[in-house]
Amino acid sequence: MNVTIIGLGLIGGSIAIELRKAGFASKIVGVDKDPASGETALLIGLVDELASLQDSIERADLIIVAIPVDAARLEIPIILDAIMEHAVVVDMGSTKHGLAKVVSGHEKRSNLVLSHPIAGTENTGPSAAVEGLFLNKVAIICGKEMSSDIALKLVEGLYETLGMRVIYMDSKEHDLHIAYVSHLSHISSFTLGKTVLEIEKNEKNIFDLAGSGFESTVRLAKSSSSMWAPILEQNSEVISVALGTYIDNLKEFKSLIDSKDKEGLTRLMDQANDVRRVLDGIE
């Protein structure tokens, strides 16, 4: 199978590593609008060759789109226009509802699978690609009824090759749940990073004291703004409500601290402790 990966960053590059390891593709063609990223991807062996978007999609059996969500919304209709009759396109972005609406009337809509592999790191670019990124994680396929059985089967096979468990959601539902769990975490972390850099003037202290929990909590604040600004824009309504609740809860926390209400603080932290049970997955 001839596979084209559009966007040779963390996700696209890490997929390339797994597909090559599994012998999933006879050839992996890479497309990236940044020539330097393309060259790096070629140099470190992620892809077999580089091509232009138009040239690559005309001969691809499977086209994996792993680019920022604003670009995906613009490019995917154009990609669908140009693919072969049997080709399958799969999108990897972190927002789905707007894209689903944009492509809903496209005559090749059934060639497209909207999906979201729930995996990542704070790093970007082809050199951030790593083996095992997707192993035992979850991939979401959205609006499966809009995709052909053949397209679905191919994408399910792709995720199986990556070692992922597939779950299914409506696009709107996806954007809601991912706002709660992923997007809010990123905002919390970005803002923690910005705040600590503002109030702690001595950078050496941040470095020395980072082992106290800061390092892990702020990890996501290293994420790329060119990936995240369009996500936050596209999913702004849902994120805004979730962020409002987060701010209200922080105000409550602050008021308990101001009144030195140890009982209230204990109650609140005990509630938060319940994430341990939820993340352990014990029913």
Q: Scan residues 185-214 and list those touching its own copies (CB under 8 A).
A: 185-200, 202-203, 205-214
Select 49 or 233, whichever has its Cβ closest to its own copies.
233
Residues of this chain, 77-106, that bind its own copies according to CB under 8 A: 94
**Residues near its own copies (CB under 8 A), total:** 91
Q: Which stretch binds its own copies (CB under 8 A): 2-10, 73-81, 85-93, 219-227?
A: 219-227
What mask of x and - would describe binding to its own copies in positions 231 to 260, judged by CB under 8 A?
Answer: -xx--x--xx-xxxxxx-xxx-xx--xx-x
Q: Which of residues 120-179 bind its own copies (CB under 8 A)?
A: 120, 122, 137-138, 167, 177-178
Binding mask 263-282 for its own copies (x = CB under 8 A): --xx-xxxxxxxxx-xx-x-
Q: To the nearest whole angstrom, how small is the minimum distance from the Cβ of residue 133 to its own copies?
A: 10
Secondary structure (DSSP) of the chain: -EEEEE--SHHHHHHHHHHHHHT--SEEEEE-SSHHHHHHHHHTTS-SEE--HHHHHTT-SEEEE-S-HHHHHHHHHHHHHHS-TT-EEEE--S--HHHHHHHTT-TTGGGEEEEEE----S--SGGG--TTTTTT-EEEEE-GGGS-HHHHHHHHHHHHHTTPEEEEE-HHHHHHHHIIIIIHHHHHHHHHHHHHHHH---HHHHHHHGGGTHHHHTGGGGS-HHHHHHHHHHTHHHHHHHHHHHHHHHHHHHHHHHTT-HHHHHHHHHHHHTHHHHHHT--
Q: Considering the complex, what minimum distance in angstroms separates the CB of residue 211 from its own copies?
A: 5
Site mask, its own copies, residues 17-56, x = CB under 8 A? ----------------------------------------
Q: Can you tell me which of 22, 36, 130, 181 binds its own copies, judged by CB under 8 A?
A: 181
